């Protein structure tokens, strides 16, 4: 009760401030623009900022308080890839409500597929198909990276289906544990599979490297000027960055389209009330498996891309921590909210790759005395844990909730955003679950 009053008071202050600043006039003009324009403009703006990033990065200030420097283009690639995976995980956890604690398995399968199809790993054969940047005498399987991305995605999707078969019929918490299990088994497998009856599948703890580079080959280079081979270009980072951005955009596009499709509705129905969903004709196992497969698909693409970016796939990259890290992004962003996940993904990945270290340095230079220096990066996963726990306790719908009621947008203020909502539903037994609402005063 007191909380509501505080919230109302704060809202009052906010409205007053808005009114005084004249921002509401801007808001009114903004709302006059036609709907489609309104939804496109922010996207275009963000897109422009992102695409031009490598160009203006150098002109950005270098000694910003707290964060120190802006992320390098190279870090940007990692950030984009992790965000892509977070979007993929959103399909599984956010849309369909399946708690997947083993997403890192898909990442691994994708990366190692790239390792198998675009490196000298399998010295027993010599097969080239569209490979760039490598002599055609080189042994091993060398397929064009663009094709490898697709194949890896497909293979990972199949892997997802295989994992899903025993797993998806389980209840919420058991599902989580089993996915965790697979998320552990697969990395342990790749770490040890260097001598399966003498056959070296994954080269053990050394991983597979080098992995070929993406590129367009000489013909396209001569014709249109496209880069021959990324890894060998002098601005390789930028090329990788833009391609990663493209991959992220495609992933976002697909996921938005799916969310608004028949399948997406089915996923959300399952999330909200699995029993009712089944009763309305939704085939539960099949639909959940599709969610898993699609999540796996994008995880596979991301994994394969990282492998070619790092020119290698190494078992040390894959751990349970990553699965939880991605989950943290999904929770922070808002279950099922694509833009929320993208923002949360970018922020958290940045923290992971550079941000925490930078913040630590800044804190140590400016706040903490010499005698009490702290190493912020060490507390990384504790911080993510705290984020998860706090979000679950106070704002489980995420920072940017998925559903924006149309009324809310029109009226601009009130709404479910201020109340703790649980728009996740676990599976309930038939007949169980008191879902009826008590008598209400009939309206109108």
Closest contact distance (angstroms) between CB of 171 and another protein is 8
Q: Which helix (DSSP H) or strand (DSSP E) does residue 141 occupy? A: strand 140-143
- Using CB under 8 A as the binding rule, the residues of this chain from 299 to 328 that contact another protein are 320, 324, 327
Of positions 46, 139, 166, 226, contacts another protein by CB under 8 A: 166
Of positions 91, 239, 294, 302, contacts another protein by CB under 8 A: 294
Q: Of 183, 186, 193, 204, whose CA–CA distance to 322 is shortest?
A: 183
Contact call for residue 414 and another protein (CB under 8 A): no
**Is the Cα dihedral 328, 331, 336, 342 positive or negative?**
negative
Of positions 35, 62, 369, 431, contacts another protein by CB under 8 A: 431
CA distance 214 to 112: 16
Closest contact distance (angstroms) between CB of 433 and another protein is 7
- Cβ closer to another protein: 354 or 402? 402
Cβ contact 142:129 at 8 Å: yes
Contact call for residue 184 and another protein (CB under 8 A): yes
Torsions phi, psi for 184 (to 5 deg): -95, -40
CA distance 163 to 175: 11
Stretch that binds another protein, among 82-90, 165-173, 217-225, 304-312 (CB under 8 A): 165-173
Contacts of 9-12 spanning 24+ positions with Cβ under 8 A: 11/413, 11/418
Cβ contact 425:172 at 8 Å: no
Closest contact distance (angstroms) between CB of 356 and another protein is 13
Per-residue HEC secondary structure of 61-127 comes to CCCECCCECCCCHHHHHHHHHHHHHHHHHHHHHHHCCCCCCCCHHHHHHHHHHHHHHEECCCCCCEE
Closest contact distance (angstroms) between CB of 282 and another protein is 5
Cβ contact 194:202 at 8 Å: yes
Contact call for residue 424 and another protein (CB under 8 A): yes
Of positions 3, 11, 14, 435, contacts another protein by CB under 8 A: 435
Cβ contact 231:300 at 8 Å: no
- Using CB under 8 A as the binding rule, the residues of this chain from 49 to 78 that contact another protein are none
Contact call for residue 20 and another protein (CB under 8 A): no
- Cβ closer to another protein: 186 or 343? 186
- Cβ closer to another protein: 57 or 161? 161
CA distance 444 to 437: 18
Of positions 211, 263, 301, 313, contacts another protein by CB under 8 A: 263
- Cβ closer to another protein: 198 or 225? 198
Tokens of 316: 């040390």
CA distance 85 to 303: 9
Contact call for residue 429 and another protein (CB under 8 A): yes
- The 3-state DSSP class for residue 199 equals strand
CA distance 39 to 255: 17
Contact call for residue 202 and another protein (CB under 8 A): no
Contact call for residue 265 and another protein (CB under 8 A): yes
- The 3-state DSSP class for residue 211 equals strand
Closest contact distance (angstroms) between CB of 351 and another protein is 15
Contact call for residue 156 and another protein (CB under 8 A): no
Per-residue x/- marks for another protein, 387-406, CB under 8 A?
Answer: xxx--xx--x------x-xx
- Cβ closer to another protein: 27 or 283? 283
Q: How many helices (H) and strands (E) does the chain have?
A: 18, 3
- Cβ closer to another protein: 73 or 277? 277
Of positions 209, 363, 379, 412, contacts another protein by CB under 8 A: 379
- Cβ closer to another protein: 20 or 406? 406
Contact call for residue 33 and another protein (CB under 8 A): no
Of positions 91, 145, 176, 313, contacts another protein by CB under 8 A: 176
Token pair 């691994």: residue: 108
- Using CB under 8 A as the binding rule, the residues of this chain from 330 to 349 that contact another protein are 331
398: left (phi over 0), alpha (psi -120 to 50) or beta: left
Contact call for residue 237 and another protein (CB under 8 A): no
Closest contact distance (angstroms) between CB of 112 and another protein is 16
Of positions 54, 130, 154, 181, contacts another protein by CB under 8 A: 181
Of positions 122, 182, 309, 314, contacts another protein by CB under 8 A: 182
Torsions phi, psi for 350 (to 5 deg): -60, -45
Contact call for residue 101 and another protein (CB under 8 A): yes
Strands 140-143 and 126-129 come out as parallel
């Amino acid at each position: 009760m007191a909380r509501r009053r505080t919230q109302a008071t704060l809202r009052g202050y906010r409205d007053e401030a808005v009114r005084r600043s004249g921002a509401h006039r801007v808001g009114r003009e903004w709302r006059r623009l036609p709907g489609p324009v309104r939804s496109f403009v922010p996207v275009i703006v963000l897109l422009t900022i992102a695409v031009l990033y490598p160009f203006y990065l150098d002109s950005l200030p270098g000694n910003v308080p707290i964060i120190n420097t802006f992320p390098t283009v190279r870090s940007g690639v990692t950030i984009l890839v992790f965000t892509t995976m977070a979007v993929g995980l959103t399909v599984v956890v956010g849309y369909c409500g399946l708690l997947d604690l083993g997403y890192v398995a898909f990442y691994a399968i994708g990366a190692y597929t790239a390792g198998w199809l675009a490196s000298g790993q399998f010295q027993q054969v010599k097969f080239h198909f569209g490979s760039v940047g490598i002599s055609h005498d080189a042994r091993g399987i060398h397929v064009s990276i663009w094709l490898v991305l697709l194949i890896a995605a497909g293979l990972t999707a199949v892997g997802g289906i295989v994992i899903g078969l025993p797993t998806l019929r389980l209840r919420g918490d058991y599902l989580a544990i089993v996915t965790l299990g697979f998320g552990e088994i697969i990395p342990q497998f790749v770490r040890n599979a260097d001598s399966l009856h003498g056959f070296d599948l994954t080269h053990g703890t050394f991983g597979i490297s080098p992995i070929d580079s993406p590129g367009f080959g000489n013909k396209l280079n001569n014709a249109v000027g496209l880069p021959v081979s990324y890894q060998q270009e002098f601005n390789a980072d930028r090329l990788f960055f833009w391609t990663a951005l493209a991959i992220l955009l495609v992933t976002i596009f697909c996921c938005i389209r799916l969310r608004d499709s028949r399948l997406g509705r089915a996923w959300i129905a399952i999330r909200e009330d699995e029993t009712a969903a089944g009763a309305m004709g939704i085939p539960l196992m099949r639909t959940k498996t599709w969610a898993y497969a699609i999540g796996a698909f994008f995880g596979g693409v991301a994994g394969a891309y990282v492998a070619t970016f790092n020119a290698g796939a190494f078992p040390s990259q894959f751990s349970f921590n990553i699965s939880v890290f991605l989950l943290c992004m999904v929770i922070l962003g808002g279950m099922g909210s694509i833009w929320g996940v993208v923002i949360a993904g970018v922020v958290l990945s940045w923290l992971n790759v550079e941000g925490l270290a930078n913040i630590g340095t800044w804190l140590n230079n400016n706040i903490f005395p010499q005698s009490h220096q702290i190493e912020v990066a060490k507390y990384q996963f504790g911080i993510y844990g705290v984020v998860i726990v706090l979000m679950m306790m106070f704002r489980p719908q995420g920072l940017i909730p998925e559903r924006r009621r149309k009324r809310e947008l029109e009226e601009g203020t009130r709404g479910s955003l201020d109340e703790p909502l649980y728009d996740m539903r676990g599976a309930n037994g038939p007949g169980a679950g008191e879902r009826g609402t008590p008598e209400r005063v009939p309206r109108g």
